[in-house]
C-alpha cells in the first residue's frame, strides 16, 4: 500500500503497481466540502482506461468540551461533565485521562493517587 499526502495545492498524479493507497489529508478542508479523486488504470499493453471518480465528503471533527469545575477539597469527589461535547447524539464514547497531578501525598494521610491511564466511559 502506498502512502500519499495531498494539500489543497498538491494535486499531482501518482502512479504505481499497488491497487491501494493511503492518503493523508494534510491541509484541512472545511466540513461540508467534498474531495474528489480520480483513477486511471493502465494495462500491460499501455492502454489506459477512462477515469473513474469518487467523491469523499468532509465531516466535522467531534469537539470535546468539559464543563468548568469549582475547586475540590481533599477527600471529596468531583463530577466531570462532558455533555456539552459535539456533535450531540453522535458521540459514542468518552476517553478520560488524568494528565497532571501533584507528586507526593495528596492529603495529610499520606495517600498518593497512582498514575492513571485512559479512563473509558
Three-state SS string across the chain, please? Answer: CEEEEECCCCCCCCCCCCCCEEEEECCCCCCCCEEEEEECCECCCCCECCCEEEEEECCCCCECCCCCCCCCCCCCCCCCCCCCCECCCCCCCCEECCCCCCCCCCCCCCCCCCCCCCEEC
Q: Are residues 44 and 85 in the same domain?
A: no
Domain that holds residue 87: 63-121
C-alpha cell at 26: 494534510
Q: Are residues 77 and 44 in the same domain?
A: no
Q: Are residues 40 and 73 in the same domain?
A: no
Non-local CB neighbours of 1 within 8 Å, separated by 6+ positions: 18, 20, 21, 22
The pTM assigned to this predicted structure is 0.51
Q: What band does 26 get if pLDDT is binned at 50, 70 and 90?
A: low
Q: Are residues 69 and 121 in the same domain?
A: yes
Q: Are residues 108 and 83 in the same domain?
A: yes
Q: Are residues 49 and 68 in the same domain?
A: no
**Least confident range of 14-18, 81-85, 110-114:** 110-114
Q: Are residues 77 and 116 in the same domain?
A: yes
Q: What band does 87 get if pLDDT is binned at 50, 70 and 90?
A: confident
Amino acid at each position: 500500500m502506498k502512502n500519499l499526502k495531498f494539500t489543497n495545492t498538491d494535486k499531482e498524479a501518482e502512479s504505481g503497481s499497488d491497487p491501494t493507497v493511503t492518503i493523508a489529508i494534510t491541509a484541512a478542508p472545511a466540513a461540508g466540502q467534498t474531495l474528489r479523486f480520480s483513477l486511471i488504470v493502465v494495462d500491460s499493453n499501455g492502454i489506459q482506461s477512462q477515469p473513474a471518480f469518487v467523491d469523499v465528503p468532509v465531516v466535522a471533527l467531534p469537539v470535546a468540551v468539559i464543563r468548568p469545575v469549582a475547586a475540590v477539597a481533599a477527600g471529596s469527589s468531583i463530577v466531570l461533565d462532558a455533555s456539552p461535547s459535539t456533535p450531540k447524539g453522535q458521540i459514542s464514547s468518552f476517553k478520560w485521562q488524568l494528565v497532571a497531578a501533584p507528586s507526593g501525598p495528596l492529603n495529610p494521610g499520606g495517600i498518593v493517587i497512582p498514575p492513571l491511564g485512559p479512563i473509558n466511559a
